[in-house]
Amino acid sequence: EDQVTQSPEALRLQEGESSSLNCSYTVSGLRGLFWYRQDPGKGPEFLFTLYSAGEEKEKERLKATLTKKESFLHITAPKPEDSATYLCAVPPMNYGGSQGNLIFGKGTKLSVKP
Amino acid sequence: DSGVTQTPKHLITATGQRVTLRCSPRSGDLSVYWYQQSLDQGLQFLIQYYNGEERAKGNILERFSAQQFPDLHSELNLSSLELGDSALYFCASSVDPGGRKIGNTIYFGEGSWLTVV
């Protein structure tokens, strides 16, 4: 069964304390892995797409990496404004050509305290 | 602001009733996607329309239906509502439907909060 699991469910960091979020997946023939940021009461906001093992992408204090079984979202020297829920998602094996047909993990809720 | 507009933002209704959620995609986007987000299930893909036609179906209940109109706005109809249908419903849009390589991002609206009492 296609599945996406994120850990930890919640993470509390002090400002400047670097850490990593994990997303593991069980999908055959990965066509891409997406990271989104979601603020409370808002829709998810696209961060990154990774296509193949070994690929890395960076945006400000965030860096996403991909292996054959999992992806990591590394947060370097986080600030309070990085507080949000981070979701990862992958297309299922039978995604039918729809790039919106995604399986989402339940997310990691990140809190960064000043 | 993603450019995707959803109405209403909040809706409270009784069990057994029917509601319609509305979505206007970003200018120029032909694809519209609907999602349901609940505390226990997380974010789930429901259905996609591309240029007026159904393109892909996810975990959408038979009591739910959607359509996309010639002006590209979309509506999600939820009928015979149950307490478990209480959730945040998102619409998203993108330029094209996808393909063998997924490249274009999809843009989410701010959602419609549905509470069934």
Q: What is the tens place of the pLDDT at every residue in B87-97?
A: 999 999 988 75
Nearest-by-Cβ selection for B98 from A46, A99, A106: A99
Instruction: Specify the pLDDT at position A78.
Output: 97
| pLDDT confidence tier of residue B102, bands split at 50, 70 and 90 | low
In this predicted structure, the answer to whether residue A110 has a pLDDT above a threshold of 60 is yes
Whether B82 shows a pLDDT value over 70: the answer reads yes
Output the pLDDT for position B98: 58
Query: What pLDDT, on the 0 to 100 scale, is given for residue B99?
Result: 54
pLDDT in the model for residue B7 = 97
Give the mean pLDDT of B29-33: 93
A39 close contact with B: CB closer than 8 A: no
Residues 70-99 on A with a CB inside 8 Å of B are 87, 89, 91, 95-99
Model confidence at B103: pLDDT above 60: no
- Sorting pLDDT into bands at 50, 70 and 90, what band is B1? confident
Contact B110/A43, CB-based, under 8 Å? yes
pLDDT, tens digit, for every residue of A33-71? 999 999 998 999 999 999 899 999 999 999 999 998 999
SS (H, E, C) chain A: CCEEEEECCEEEEECCCCEEEEEEEECCCCCCEEEEEECCCCCCEEEEEECCCCCEEEECCEEEEECCCEEEEEECCCCHHHCEEEEEEECCCCCCCCCCCCEECCCEEEEEEC
Among chain A residues, the shortest Cα distance to B31 is held by A100
Facing residue for A98 by CB, picked from B97, B103, B105: B97
A51: chain B residues, CB-CB within 8 Å: 101
